[in-house]
Amino acid sequence: MNDLFHQISSLDTEQINSNSVDIDVSTTEEILRIINEEDKKVALAVEKEIPNIRSAVDVIVNSFNNNGRLVYIGAGTSGRLGILDASECPPTFGTDADMVLGLIAGGNDAVFKAKEGAEDFQENGIEDVKGINFNKNDVLCGLAASGRTPYVLGGIKEAKTRGGKTILVTTVNREQVLKNGANADILICPNVGPEVVMGSTRMKSGTAQKLVLNMITTTAMVKLGKTYENVMIDLQMTNEKLIQRAIKILMMICGIEYKEAEELLKNSDGHVKTAIVMKELNCGKLEAVRALENSDNFVRRAISG
């Protein structure tokens, strides 16, 4: 038997789940309850990794403050989750399109149609990291349920060679990850245990990775001043829904009526943070912009002086 067989066979996600062995003879509701009970375990597994997630966030915020990028790299479900998280940052937090990026084995076509063989070669990950001119200010976050995906490990290897910080998010225990050759600076390993359907890592493993990515980028953006209280205030006015959401935000935060909020948004050139400061300091756009610049773009600091 070859080494890969032993490597895969030892993974927690490749074991039989004793709680779902009768799933093929269960009723529809019984199947749903089995899945739901297993899903409840995911958040608890993620909770145990908060210290490591905190370390990842601190590294990422430092990177952003030095004009660096967060780059996700993964294959299959993991790769798609990275691309999803990256693509949602600009409309949600007003980030530049290249501030958070996603790389997936097989290229963009693999987002919509599986290209399983593309993940088998470290060289592919190395070339993709080279292709975006990864540098020492960037952070590479590998996503691999098994912790052993060659494409991801190759990307991490190249990122480290270029002096950047590296993170690996996996869903098997730390000992297995290290044994399989991962050498990222930070390991985030919520151990979700066997899947409901053996090896189907789009299930609990995918859910765990999505939770971790939500935590990473949301916390990083909060620490960059992208929210006021718990409201996102750096959203981009890219469609009518977001324009109306921006008006509602101004109405809520500033205690004003619709027409005034609409006018305020117009006078701030569609920038919610600037509009809030204009209203709270009773000043014009230029003064509000200066107040934000002098407070590292944190609205609370700007309006409190």
CA pair distance 173, 302, nearest whole angstrom: 44
Complete DSSP assignment for the chain: --HHHHHHHTSGGGS--TTSTTGGGS-HHHHHHHHHHHHHHHHHHHHTTHHHHHHHHHHHHHHHHTT--EEEEESHHHHHHHHHHHHHHHHHH---TTTEEEEETT-GGGGTS--GGGGG-HHHHHHHHHHTT--TT-EEEEE-TTS--HHHHHHHHHHHHTT-EEEEE-SS-HHHHHHTT---SEEE-----S-SSTT-TTTHHHHHHHHHHHHHHHHHHHHTT-EETTEE------SHHHHHHHHHHHHHHHT--HHHHHHHHHHTTT-HHHHHHHHHHT--HHHHHHHHHTTTT-HHHHHH-
- By CB atoms closer than 10 A (0-12, 13-18, 19+), residue 267 is middle
Residue 88 annotated to the active site: yes
Long-range pairs of 244-249 with CB within 8 A, sequence gap ≥ 24: 246/270, 246/272
CB atoms within 10 A of CB 96: 9
Query: Which of 38, 49, 119, 195 is labelled catalytic?
Result: 119
Chain centre to alpha carbon of residue 288: 31
Query: Which of 88, 262, 280, 287 is labelled catalytic?
Result: 88
Residue 229 annotated to the active site: no
User: What residues are annotated to the active site?
Assistant: 88, 119
